[in-house]
Amino acid sequence: MAICGHRGGITRKGALQLLNGFAFLVGGVAGVTWKMLVMWAVGGLLIWLAVKKDFEPSLLLPMGFGAILVNLPYTGVLGDSGIIQWLFQKGIAASEALPLLLFVGIGAMIDFGPLLSNPRMLLFGGAAQFGIFFTVLLATLLGFPMRDAMPIGVIGAADGPTSILVSQVLDSHYKGAIAVAAYSYMALVPVIQPVAIRAVTTKKERSIRMPYRPDEVSQRTKILFPIFVTIIAGLIAPDSIALVGMLMFGNLIRECGRLEGLSKTAQGPLANLITIFLGITISFQMRADAFVRWDTLLVMALGFVAFVFDTVGGVLFAKLMNVFLPAGKKINPMVGAAGISAFPMSARVIQKMGLQEDNQNHLLMHAIGANVAGQIGSVVAGGIILSLAHGMGL
Amino acid sequence: MFGFLAAYAGPAGPVSSADVLTALGLMGKGMLGIFIVMALIYLLTYILNRTTGKDGR
């Protein structure tokens, strides 16, 4: 009352002057755009998925918070002295350091034993990358230039760091959407894969039993494996060497038997630290002006297609192998679907589906073999995509 | 074969038959490349399992 009238101490003019003096406080509110509001909602959705649904929380939560952080008006985390921009420029744009170093941790976490004792599972790690190339074709048919179509396809690698790396190297316009799609769909593997598998298999095929009789694997094999895989990948697909090399370096630390401390550090603190910064750094690509476009939805839809056709590719390849395998040696086609990189979610899905069809049908170890093959297959596929892109002058 | 796609406008931009042929070529080369690498790793694993024996454990 005192502000509006003359009875108190402050006049209307005085009140306006007072408000003008505090205009800086509302400058940010006035700077909010509808696109920023959309990104706040996207950030909120990612945080909700992480917290409530437990979908890849270690990455979706930092990405969700970062999406809000970089979409505040006049945000101090962007610009030449902004921490998120600095992290992005140094950690991703300059050398892809964050995604590559994360592979050291991932490599240290992987036990290739189930794959080494049953190496034919390696073929599924190749077949289940079909969705990548199918989606590149589909994206091209929709009119995306090859610079964007290729990284969109790599969403199907089910491998977040590889998707980020390929989209950065090819300088795609959809880096943010690709990262979000890669991690979101990876978390949705337990939902996507059963539907896709049931669509291309019969109950009889899903009930095929696969007894697990692993061959013993020597430590020497486990040590030599990462070294030779690095050499093979380097010779055949040189652009995959950064990805494969870091993955195999981490695995060598694990398997050498002399670096237990380093192995534990790589699996735990190193991987966790990088994950924290990778998630929030990727949010640099989630600025409203670059992210809120109708074709972002198209990219997300194509990523879904890539995941579905990866699964279908693995299953159909297993069915093809069964044509040539004698009775009693047949492969349960569902195991082929585990050839994607989403580890260990995919293997768990296959185990669960196998038990649903036949409560004595334990497919877990076969599926884990295919799943770790998928880890190799996805980084090789990323490298091959980069090699092909460079061959096209991109 | 893909002449019908010439100058067709997709939702994300124009598409030419050359783009489609390029993408098909990528699919062929990419899948072949992956299978070559995986087959070589398969061969390597087979050889390692045969030659290193179980004594290195």
Closest residue to A215, CB basis, from B20, B49, B55: B49
Closest residue to B33, CB basis, from A117, A143, A237: A237
A391 contact partners, CB below 8 Å, separation of at least 6: none
pLDDT, tens digit, for every residue of A92-137? 888 788 888 999 999 999 899 888 988 989 999 999 999 999 999 9
Query: Do A251 and A110 form a contact (C-beta atoms < 8 A)?
Result: yes
Answer yes or no: is B56 within a domain: no
Answer yes or no: is B27 within a domain: yes
- Interchain CB distance below 8 Å, A218 and B57: yes
In angstroms, what separates the C-alpha of B35 from chain A's closest C-alpha? 6
Query: A160-169 and A364-391 helices cross at what angle (nearest 10)?
Result: 0
Q: Give CA–CA dist A59/A374, Å, rounded.
A: 21
The count of structural domains within chain B is 1
Angle at A296 between CA A84 and CA A79, to 5 degrees: 20
In angstroms, what separates the C-alpha of B32 from chain A's closest C-alpha? 9
Query: Do A184 and A55 form a contact (C-beta atoms < 8 A)?
Result: yes
pLDDT, block means (10 residues), chain A with 394 residues: 54 80 77 92 93 85 93 90 91 85 92 89 94 95 93 89 89 88 81 92 92 83 93 85 91 93 95 91 88 88 92 95 90 94 87 90 90 91 92 85
Tell me the mean pLDDT in the region B2-30. 82
In chain B, residues with a C-beta closer than 8 Å to the C-beta of A123 are: 35, 38-39, 42
> Is the dihedral angle over the CA atoms A258, A261, A263, A266 positive or is it negative?
negative
Answer yes or no: is B21 within a domain: yes
Q: State the best of B16, B45, B50, B52 to mutate against chain A, taking most chain A CBs within 10 Å.
A: B45
- Interchain CB distance below 8 Å, A220 and B45: no
Answer yes or no: is B57 within a domain: no
Secondary structure (DSSP) of A58-106: HHHHHHHHHHHHTTSTT-TTSSTT-HHHHHHIIIIITT-HHHHHHHHHH
- The interface residues of chain A toward chain B in range 344-383, judged by CB-CB distance below 8 A, are 373, 376-377, 380-381
pLDDT, tens digit, for every residue of A149-202? 999 999 988 888 889 889 989 999 998 889 888 887 877 788 889 999 999 999
What is the helix (H) or strand (E) element at residue B8, kind and residue range? strand B8-10
Q: Map tokens 């093979």 to a residue.
A: A232
Q: Give CA–CA dist A136/B54, Å, rounded.
A: 44
Q: Give CA–CA dist A319/A339, Å, rounded.
A: 14
CB count within 10 Å of CB A277 equals: 18
A32 contact partners, CB below 8 Å, separation of at least 6: A73
Secondary structure (DSSP) of A335-373: HHHTTSS-TTHHHHHHHHHHHHH-TT---HHHHHHHHHH
CB count within 10 Å of CB A321 equals: 18
Q: pLDDT at position A99, please?
A: 86
Closest residue to B31, CB basis, from A133, A142, A148: A133
Cα nearest neighbour of A381 on chain B? B34
What is the helix (H) or strand (E) element at residue A4, kind and residue range? none
- Interchain CB distance below 8 Å, B14 and A298: no
Angle at A383 between CA A282 and CA A182, to 5 degrees: 35
Q: pLDDT at position B5, please?
A: 55
In angstroms, what separates the C-alpha of A4 from chain B's closest C-alpha? 56
In chain B, residues with a C-beta closer than 8 Å to the C-beta of A248 are: none
A394 contact partners, CB below 8 Å, separation of at least 6: A146, A147, A150, A170
Domain enclosing residue B47, as ranges: 3-51
Structure tokens at A21: 């003096």
CB count within 10 Å of CB A57 equals: 18
Answer yes or no: is B23 within a domain: yes
ipTM rounded to 2 decimals: 0.86
Side-chain-side CA neighbours of residue A293 (13 Å): 17
Against a cut of 0.90, is the pTM above it?
Answer: no
Q: pLDDT at position B56, please?
A: 46
Closest residue to B54, CB basis, from A115, A218, A232: A218
A282 contact partners, CB below 8 Å, separation of at least 6: A63, A66, A92, A164, A176, A179
Q: Is residue B55's pLDDT more than 70? A: no
Query: Do A338 and A124 form a contact (C-beta atoms < 8 A)?
Result: yes
A269 contact partners, CB below 8 Å, separation of at least 6: none
Q: Which residues of B touch A (CB under 8 A)?
A: 5, 9-15, 19-20, 22-24, 26-27, 29-31, 33-42, 44-46, 48-49, 52-57
A224 contact partners, CB below 8 Å, separation of at least 6: B48, B52
In chain B, residues with a C-beta closer than 8 Å to the C-beta of A117 are: 49
- Interchain CB distance below 8 Å, A216 and B54: yes
Q: Give CA–CA dist A387/B36, Å, rounded.
A: 15
Cα nearest neighbour of B28 on chain A? A133
Distances (CA, A) of A112 to A226, A274, A293: 9, 23, 41
Q: pLDDT at position B3, please?
A: 56
Q: pLDDT at position A51, please?
A: 93
